[in-house]
Amino acid sequence: MTYLSLTGSDTRMDSRNSVLVNPLPQRCERCHFPDIDFVPQPYRLIDARTKNPNDLAPAELGNFLVRQRAKDVLEIVIPGQCAFYPTVLRKTGEQSSWFLAVPNGWIDTGQAKADIERCSACGEPKSAHWGSQYDYSQTLAPVSGDAEIFKAAHWSSSVREWSKDWTEQDWIYRHLLISPRLYHLLKQLKLKGLVEATCGSETKPTSADQQWIAKKRALLIEQGRRTEPPSESKRSSLATIYSGQASNRPAPPRSYLEFVTAHGPKSYFHVDEQEGFTVQLLEPSDLDYVHYRRGVLRSEDEETNEIDGVMFAETLHGDCLCFDFSGDVTEPSVVIYLHEMNYFEPYAANFTECLQRLEGVGSSETSERSRINKTL
């Protein structure tokens, strides 16, 4: 199995110039080596840096930071593989929107060379410079567990003597590693902020990885999780224009409201008898009144530019279904947005006919589940 090393912004929320915001207790009285597995509580972050718009961010010592959406996804796709801790703003003590994620899995990335002197009390090397004093592991074998995300079992640093109190010279580093399939799943879900550390091109997912990713995305939809980022992150200027104007929010058709109220945000699998074509209806509060409205898409297709779309269902592969309010506003027709072409195609005359198409022959949740189970 291959694992990728993750990196991200050097503007860490939990350290400034390598000085940890949350000091660690000492683990060894003789060499003053810190307890690098300890998670100080409450875990404090530098206030201004928490404004980072991403959902993921690097943290010190092989941990990372996640916003709620990323936490929700990780708890569903890799349950139990990370422990999450709430964080607070350093100055005010208020709860921040980030959680510290601590991988439970450890991986062997190598360790300080055998000829580096060890502390007689705790056995830690006196120094472990990543460049010159390290023996790298060739195998990247998991030390514990069979996980998708790991912290390095060993640390590196150029420090030769640990001070009693953490100082600027005392930087210490642990790698954070991830499987290519989890990496690409997060990428597809547009959970940004951690990238593969590489000098060349990004590691590509294999076809087995793709299958795993598709299965996890189906699982997210089953659990009622949206697989697209919340709409306000995109094209914010247009969002501002539309969100402030109630008159720009046409009322969804009664047939849709009644159906969703009765059945919830239902998912449909194997739609149009197409393998992997999964559609999830959105709740009325999640309707997207911004990104598919007339004039927003700037398509090369003239008819698309005339459509006044409100998204009410999304698919696993990035396309979505919209009501088109440019015509009949009480029973709007349904169009499908094809994201790769950036245009709309007609899908159904109205919501009722759209439902019939989604519910088509041989496509129920049960048959999809049994199909997934068969391929396991």
Angle at the Cα of 71 (from 65 to 75), degrees rounded to 5? 130
Structure-token pair, residue 118? 């060890």
CB atoms within 10 A of CB 311: 21
Residue whose token pair is 């683990």: 27
Contact 305, 299 (CB under 8 A): yes
Nearer to Zn ion, 14 or 124 (CB): 124
Nearer to Zn ion, 122 or 341 (CB): 122
Least distance in angstroms from the C-beta of 114 to Zn ion:
17
25: cis peptide before it, omega within 30°?
Answer: no
Contact 112, 127 (CB under 8 A): yes
Query: Residues 89, 92, 93, 96: is their CA dihedral positive or negative?
Result: negative
What distance in Å separates the CA atoms of residue 192 and residue 219, rounded to the nearest whole number?
20
Nearer to Zn ion, 122 or 251 (CB): 122
Nearer to Zn ion, 1 or 122 (CB): 122
Contact 305, 335 (CB under 8 A): no
Contact 265, 280 (CB under 8 A): yes
DSSP class per residue in 219-242: HHHHTT--SS--GGGS-HHHHHHH
Least distance in angstroms from the C-beta of 161 to Zn ion:
11
Q: Would strands 149-152 and 105-107 be described as parallel, antiparallel, or unpaired?
A: parallel
Nearer to Zn ion, 118 or 371 (CB): 118
Q: Would strands 43-45 and 82-89 be described as parallel, antiparallel, or unpaired?
A: parallel
Least distance in angstroms from the C-beta of 36 to Zn ion:
12
Structure-token pair, residue 108? 């062997």
Nearer to Zn ion, 31 or 56 (CB): 31
Nearer to Zn ion, 8 or 125 (CB): 125
Residues that bind Zn ion (CB under 5 A): 28, 30-31, 33, 119, 121-122
Least distance in angstroms from the C-beta of 56 to Zn ion:
34
Least distance in angstroms from the C-beta of 117 to Zn ion:
11
Least distance in angstroms from the C-beta of 176 to Zn ion:
25
Cβ-in-10-Å burial (0-12, 13-18, 19+) of 156 comes to buried
Nearer to Zn ion, 116 or 238 (CB): 116
Least distance in angstroms from the C-beta of 123 to Zn ion:
7
Least distance in angstroms from the C-beta of 139 to Zn ion:
28
Contact 147, 104 (CB under 8 A): yes
